[in-house]
C-alpha cells in the first residue's frame, strides 16, 4: 500500500491545533502553479458514498469497507481519516486500537486512482500515528500484508524498521454458489459446538488453554491479531463472528463424543467472520490447535453457517497457519470436495503476513518527504 510514496515532492504544513495536515503538493512534472491542497480530517458517516463508491474497491472485489464503514466509525477504538482535495475525498485510512488500546492496527487504507504516489497515504498514515500516540497507551504497531507486499517489505525493510513476523498464513480463496452446497447434517460431527459468550470469556481467562491452542498467542479475526486481553472478546464473538471449539478428532458420533466439554479440554478452536462484498457474501475462517486434528468438524460447522446465508454467491477465504499447511492441505481438499468444491479451482493461493513492532510516535520528518512544521 505504500508503493509510490517514495520520490514524492511535497511541502506540508502541519497544523497542530486542528490535527489536520494541509499539504501543498506539486503535481507530477508541472511544478509551476498547479498546487492543490490536501486536508486530512476525521471521517464522517456522511462521507460513506464518497469513500466507498468514490474511491472504489481496493481488494479485488472483496473490499469490506462497504459493509463495515459505519461500524468502524461508531467504534470508539477506531481512528478513521479521509484525505480531501477541494470537494473531493481522495483517500481513507483507519487505525484500530486493540489489546485494550495497547496495539494499533491500521486497516482499509486507500487512495483514489490518479492521486497515488503524491504522499496522500503518507499523510493519512502519519495522522493515524499522531492520533494513536495521543492516546498514550499504544505500545505496539501491527500490520497485515499480502505476500507480494510482504516480500518487498521483508526485503530488509521489515528488519530495518524493526518489524517482526508474527503470523504467516496460507490463504485459500474459494468462490461458489451457495445453492450448490449440500445441506450439512448436524449430527455428523458431535465433537464440535459453537462457543457461547461465557465460553469465549473462559478461554480468555485460561492462559494454559489459550497457549495450548493458539500458536502465536494471538487469535486473528479478519487479519486483526488479538491478544488474550478481555477487551478483545467483543472482536471474537459478535454479530459478524462466531467461534467454535472441538474435543478430539473429527467424525465422532454421539456415542463417542466426550461428555466433558469444558474449554480447558478443547483440542481445536476456529472462528468464522462474515461481511458483504462485491463478490457475494464474504466469509473468513481461521483454525487453531496443535495439529488441526479436528479440522473436518470445524469445516462442517463453518459450512453449516455458510449454508444459512441468504446470498447466492459465497466468497470464502480459509486461512491456515503456514507451518500446518502441508499437513492439512490434503484433508482440506477432501473436506471441500465432499461439498462439491474443488480446492484447485482457484490456484492463486495467497499468503498473508502479520508483522508487529514497538510503537514509536512519528517524527516530523521522514525519508519519504519533507515536512515543514513552521506555520506560514
In our burial notation (b when 16+ CB lie closer than 10 A, e otherwise), range 6-45 reads eebebebbbeeeeebbbbebbeeeeeeeeeeebbbbebee
Number of H helices, E strands in the chain: 10, 17
Residue 163 or 283 with smaller CB distance to ligand NAG: 163
3-state secondary structure of 275: strand
Q: Residue 272: which H helix or E strand, with range?
A: strand 268-277
Minimum gap (Å) between residue 235 Cβ and ligand NAG: 23
DSSP 254: G
Give the CB-nearest residue to ligand NAG: 362
Task: Retrieve residue 128's grid coordinates.
Answer: 493515524
Task: Retrieve residue 324's grid coordinates.
Answer: 500446518
Minimum gap (Å) between residue 163 Cβ and ligand NAG: 9
Minimum gap (Å) between residue 336 Cβ and ligand NAG: 30
Minimum gap (Å) between residue 167 Cβ and ligand NAG: 18
Minimum gap (Å) between residue 262 Cβ and ligand NAG: 6
Minimum gap (Å) between residue 201 Cβ and ligand NAG: 18
Residue 47 or 131 with smaller CB distance to ligand NAG: 131
Sign of the C-alpha dihedral computed for residues 132, 134, 136 and 139 taken in this order: positive
For ligand NAG, the binding residues (CB under 6 A) are 2, 122, 125-126, 129, 258, 260, 262, 264-265, 362, 366
Residue 117 or 258 with smaller CB distance to ligand NAG: 258
Residue 95 or 282 with smaller CB distance to ligand NAG: 95
Rounded to an integer, what distance in angstroms lies between the CA atom of residue 153 and that of residue 151?
5
Rounded to an integer, what distance in angstroms lies between the CA atom of residue 176 and that of residue 188?
23
Residue 67 or 149 with smaller CB distance to ligand NAG: 149
Residue 20 or 125 with smaller CB distance to ligand NAG: 125
Please answer whether residues 206 and 263 qualify as being in contact, where contact means their C-beta atoms are separated by less than 8 angstroms: yes
Residue 209 or 335 with smaller CB distance to ligand NAG: 209
Minimum gap (Å) between residue 325 Cβ and ligand NAG: 28
Could you tell me which of 222, 223, 280, 219 has the C-alpha nearest to residue 245?
Answer: 219
The torsion region of residue 60 among left (phi > 0), alpha (psi -120 to 50) and beta comes to left
Residue 351 or 366 with smaller CB distance to ligand NAG: 366
Minimum gap (Å) between residue 358 Cβ and ligand NAG: 11
Minimum gap (Å) between residue 260 Cβ and ligand NAG: 4
3-state secondary structure of 61: coil
Minimum gap (Å) between residue 258 Cβ and ligand NAG: 6
Residue 40 or 328 with smaller CB distance to ligand NAG: 40
Task: Retrieve residue 148's grid coordinates.
Answer: 507480494
Residue 132, C-beta contacts closer than 8 angstroms, at least 6 positions apart:
79, 95, 97, 104, 138, 359
Residue 185 or 260 with smaller CB distance to ligand NAG: 260
Q: Residue 170: which H helix or E strand, with range?
A: strand 164-177
Exposed, middle or buried by CB within 10 Å (0-12, 13-18, 19+), for 365?
A: exposed
Amino acid at each position: 500500500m505504500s508503493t509510490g510514496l517514495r520520490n514524492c515532492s511535497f511541502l506540508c504544513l502541519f497544523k497542530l491545533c486542528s490535527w489536520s495536515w494541509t499539504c501543498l503538493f506539486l503535481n507530477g512534472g508541472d511544478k509551476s502553479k498547479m498546487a492543490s491542497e490536501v486536508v486530512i480530517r476525521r471521517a464522517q458517516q456522511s462521507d460513506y458514498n464518497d469513500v466507498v463508491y468514490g474511491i472504489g474497491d481496493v481488494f479485488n472485489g472483496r473490499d469490506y469497507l462497504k459493509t463495515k464503514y459505519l461500524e468502524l466509525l461508531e467504534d470508539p477504538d477506531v481512528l478513521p481519516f479521509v484525505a480531501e482535495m477541494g470537494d473531493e475525498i481522495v483517500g481513507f485510512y483507519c487505525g484500530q486500537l486493540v489489546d485494550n488500546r495497547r496495539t494499533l492496527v491500521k486497516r482499509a487504507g486507500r487512495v483514489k486512482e490518479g492521486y497515488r504516489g503524491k504522499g496522500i497515504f503518507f499523510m493519512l498514515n502519519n495522522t493515524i500515528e499522531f492520533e494513536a500516540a495521543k492516546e498514550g497507551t499504544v505500545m505496539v504497531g501491527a500490520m497485515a500484508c499480502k505476500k507480494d507486499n510482504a516480500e518487498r517489505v521483508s526485503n530488509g525493510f521489515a528488519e530495518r524498521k524493526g518489524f517482526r513476523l508474527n503470523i504467516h498464513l496460507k490463504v485459500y480463496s474459494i468462490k461458489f454458489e451457495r445453492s450448490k452446497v449440500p445441506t450439512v447434517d448436524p449430527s455428523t460431527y458431535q465433537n464440535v459446538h459453537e462457543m457461547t459468550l461465557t465460553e469465549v470469556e473462559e478461554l480468555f481467562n485460561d492462559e494454559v488453554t489459550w497457549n495450548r491452542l493458539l500458536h502465536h498467542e494471538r487469535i486473528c479475526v479478519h487479519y486483526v491479531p488479538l491478544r488474550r486481553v478481555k477487551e478483545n472478546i467483543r472482536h471474537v464473538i459478535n454479530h459478524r463472528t462466531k467461534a467454535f471449539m472441538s474435543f478430539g478428532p473429527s467424525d465422532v458420533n454421539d456415542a463417542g463424543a466426550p461428555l466433558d466439554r469444558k474449554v480447558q479440554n478443547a483440542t481445536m478452536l476456529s472462528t468464522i467472520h462474515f461481511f458483504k462484498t462485491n463478490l457475494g457474501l464474504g466469509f473468513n475462517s481461521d483454525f487453531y490447535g496443535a495439529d488441526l486434528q479436528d479440522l473436518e468438524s470445524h469445516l462442517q460447522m463453518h459450512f453449516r453457517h455458510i449454508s444459512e446465508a441468504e446470498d447466492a454467491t459465497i466468497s470464502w477465504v480459509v486461512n491456515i497457519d503456514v507451518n500446518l499447511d502441508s499437513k492439512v492441505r490434503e484433508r482440506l481438499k477432501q473436506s471441500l470436495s465432499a461439498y462439491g468444491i474443488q480446492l484447485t479451482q482457484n490456484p492463486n493461493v495467497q499468503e498473508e503476513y502479520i508483522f508487529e513492532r514497538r510503537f514509536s510516535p512519528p517524527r516530523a520528518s521522514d525519508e519519504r518527504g519533507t515536512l515543514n512544521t513552521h506555520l506560514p
